A and B are shown apart, each in its own frame.
Chain A
Amino acid sequence: MRSSRDAEFTDYVTARLPWLRRVAFLLCQDWQSADDLVQAAITRLYTHWGRARSAASIDAYARTVLIRAYLAERRSAWARRVTLSAGYPDLPAAADDHESRLDVRAALASLPPRQRATLVLRFYCDLPVEETARELGCTPGTVKSQTAKGLTALRRALAPVTAEGA
Chain B
Amino acid sequence: MDENSVRTLLESIASAPEPPPRVDLDRARRRGRRWLWARRTAAPALTVAAVVGTLTVPHAFSVDHSERTVVPPQHTSSPVSLTAPARFDPLVPYASFGWLPRGFSEAAAASIDYDSGFAAASDFVSLEAAAPSAGHLLYLEVSSRGACALTAAAAARGVRAGAVVQVTCTDDQFAVTGPAPDVAGHPAVQINYGEGIAWEYAPGAWASLRADITPAADEPHSRRQAAQDGWVIVARSRADRPTGDLTPARIRADIKAGKLIPPSAATQALLVKVASQVRYGQRTPLAFPFRMTRPLPAGWRLTSTSFTPSGGRLLGTGVSAGPAADRDALSISAAIGPNTACPFYYGQSSYVTQGGVRWVYRVIDETDKHVQSLCATTAVDGLADAGTSLDMNTPGSNAPLPGSAELGGALGVLARTRFLGTDPARWTAAPVG
Contact = CB atoms under 8 A, between A and B. Distances in A.
A151 interface: yes
A96 B196 CA distance: 10
Chain B, interface residues (CB within 8 Å), range:
35 or more
Interface stretch (B27-35, B322-330, B402-410): B27-35
Contact of B235 (A13, A36, A92, A128): A92
B6 A119 contact: yes
Nearest to A20: B23
- Interface of A: prevailing SS: helix
A166 B150 contact: yes
Given A85-B243, A161-B166, A31 B215 contact: yes
Contacts of B157: 165
- Interface of B: prevailing SS: mixed
B18 A163 contact: no
Contacts of B114: 18
A10 to B, nearest CB: 6
Contact of A40 (B14, B53, B56): B53
A96 B173 contact: no
B31 to A, nearest CB: 5
A61 interface: no
Interface string A72-97: 11001000001001111111110111
A95 B174 CA distance: 11
Nearest to A106: B245
A43 B35 contact: yes
A44 B51 contact: yes
B51 A26 contact: no
B12 A104 contact: yes
A40 B52 contact: yes
A86 B243 contact: yes
Interface in A107-166: 108, 119-120, 122-124, 126, 128, 151, 154-155, 158, 161-166
A80 to B, nearest CB: 14
Contacts of A69: 48, 52
A97 B16 contact: yes
A160 to B, nearest CB: 9
A43 B54 contact: yes
Contacts of B3: 122-123, 151
Interface string B51-74: 111111000000000000000000
A123 B238 CA distance: 29
A92 B12 contact: no
Interface string A11-53: 0011001100111011000111001101110111111000000
B340 to A, nearest CB: 10
Contact of B175 (A10, A76, A99, A128): A99
Contacts of A63: none
Contacts of B212: 95-96
A16 to B, nearest CB: 11
A151 B6 contact: yes
A10 B25 contact: yes
A10 B193 CA distance: 40
A26 B10 contact: yes
Given A86-B243, A158-B1, A39 B13 contact: no
A4 interface: no
A95 B234 contact: yes
A34 to B, nearest CB: 9
A54 interface: no
B266 to A, nearest CB: 17
A73 B48 CA distance: 10
B48 A14 contact: no
A73 B6 contact: no
B246 A165 contact: no
Nearest to B14: A22
B343 A165 contact: no
Contacts of B53: 36, 39-40
B51 A92 contact: no
A164 B165 contact: yes
B345 A88 contact: no
Contact of A32 (B150, B218, B243): B218
B23 A22 contact: no
B327 to A, nearest CB: 16
Contacts of A72: 48
Contact of A96 (B9, B51, B137): B137
Nearest to A25: B14
Interface of A: 6, 9-10, 13-14, 17-18, 21-23, 25-26, 30-32, 35-36, 38-40, 42-47, 69, 72-73, 76, 82, 85-93, 95-101, 103-105, 108, 119-120, 122-124, 126, 128, 151, 154-155, 158, 161-166
Given A95-B192, A97-B13, 13 more contacts: A39-B27, A40-B51, A45-B28, A82-B241, A86-B241, A88-B245, A91-B246, A95-B211, A95-B213, A96-B18, A96-B137, A99-B166, A128-B345
22 contacts: A18-B18, A21-B21, A39-B22, A42-B23, A43-B27, A43-B32, A46-B29, A76-B49, A82-B241, A86-B242, A90-B241, A92-B234, A95-B232, A96-B18, A98-B173, A98-B174, A104-B9, A108-B13, A119-B6, A151-B1, A151-B6, A166-B154
Please provide the 7 A-B residue pairs with the shortest distance between their CB atoms, ordered closest to farther: A99-B173, A46-B32, A163-B149, A166-B149, A43-B51, A22-B14, A165-B154
